[in-house]
């Protein structure tokens, strides 16, 4: 096998061609199972945060905002791993946990931003500003990820993930405030 073929096989395993796949702890589920929906929504959220982070890194004067989103992306990897691993499996203990300190930290970040941001009393129509529109897109994806995780928790009786649910809820609130902060403090650059 050539190096190029080896690299291709690392990405294209063909294991899911039959419409099912394995989670991290080894159980096999249909690809339309709530487990993969939850993991997929979390992955999509991370990608959307990457779009927001790339904008912030380029245009925001506050150089701490991009690293905050990157930290959230790192924690979302853990969150996805927790969803994709049975709690009684040995791999579960290897995944960095999402716990109360995680979502409380996001609350603190939100409170700090709110002290520097005016939050209006009207509904927001995303799109007035590219940076805030990216963050609003991430926020709406986060809300979907939260709804899917709630369904997953109820369906699989995964009460171990309650802090993960709270974490997603706090992220969406933080992203709402961050989008307003960006509108008020950053010039509306376009790509």
Q: For all residues of the chain together, what is the average pLDDT?
A: 89
DSSP secondary-structure letter at 92?
A: G
**Is 146 buried (19+), middle (13-18) or exposed (0-12) by CB count in 10 A?**
buried
What six digits make up the tokens of 97? Answer: 């946990």
CATH number belonging to the domain at 32-185, selected among 3.90.1150.10, 2.30.30.100, 3.40.50.2000, 1.20.1200.10: 1.20.1200.10
Mean pLDDT in residue range 98-120: 94
Residue 93: per-residue pLDDT: 95
How do the domains of the chain map onto residue ranges?
32-185
Q: Is pLDDT of 9 > 60? A: no
Residue 27: per-residue pLDDT: 78
Which residues make beta-bridge pairs with 30?
A: 20
Q: Pick 3 or 50 by higher pLDDT.
A: 50
Over the stretch 20-78, which tens digit does the pLDDT of each residue have? 777 777 778 888 899 999 999 999 999 999 999 999 999 888 899 999 999 999 999 99
Residue 121: per-residue pLDDT: 83
Look at residue 126 and give its three-state secondary structure.
coil
Residue 86: per-residue pLDDT: 94
What gap in Å lies between CA 148 and CA 53, rounded to an integer? 24
**Is 13 buried (19+), middle (13-18) or exposed (0-12) by CB count in 10 A?**
exposed
Residue 1: per-residue pLDDT: 66
Q: Is pLDDT of 94 > 70? A: yes
């Amino acid at each position: 096998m050539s190096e190029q073929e080896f690299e291709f096989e690392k990405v294209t395993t063909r294991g899911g061609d039959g419409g099912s796949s394995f989670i991290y702890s080894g159980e096999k589920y249909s690809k339309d199972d709530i487990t993969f929906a939850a993991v997929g929504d979390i992955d999509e959220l991370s990608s959307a945060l990457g779009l927001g982070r790339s904008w912030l890194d380029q245009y925001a004067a506050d150089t701490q905002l991009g690293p905050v989103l990157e930290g959230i992306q790192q924690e979302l990897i853990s969150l996805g791993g927790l969803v994709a691993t049975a709690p009684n499996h040995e791999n579960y203990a290897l995944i960095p946990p999402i716990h109360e300190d995680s979502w409380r930290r996001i609350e603190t970040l939100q409170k700090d931003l709110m002290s520097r941001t005016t939050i209006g009393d009207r509904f927001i129509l995303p799109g007035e500003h590219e940076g805030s529109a990216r963050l609003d897109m991430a926020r709406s994806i986060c809300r979907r990820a939260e709804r899917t995780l709630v369904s997953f928790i109820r369906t699989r009786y995964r009460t171990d993930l309650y802090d993960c649910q709270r974490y997603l809820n706090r992220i969406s609130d933080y992203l709402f405030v961050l989008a307003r902060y960006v509108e008020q403090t950053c010039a509306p650059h376009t790509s």
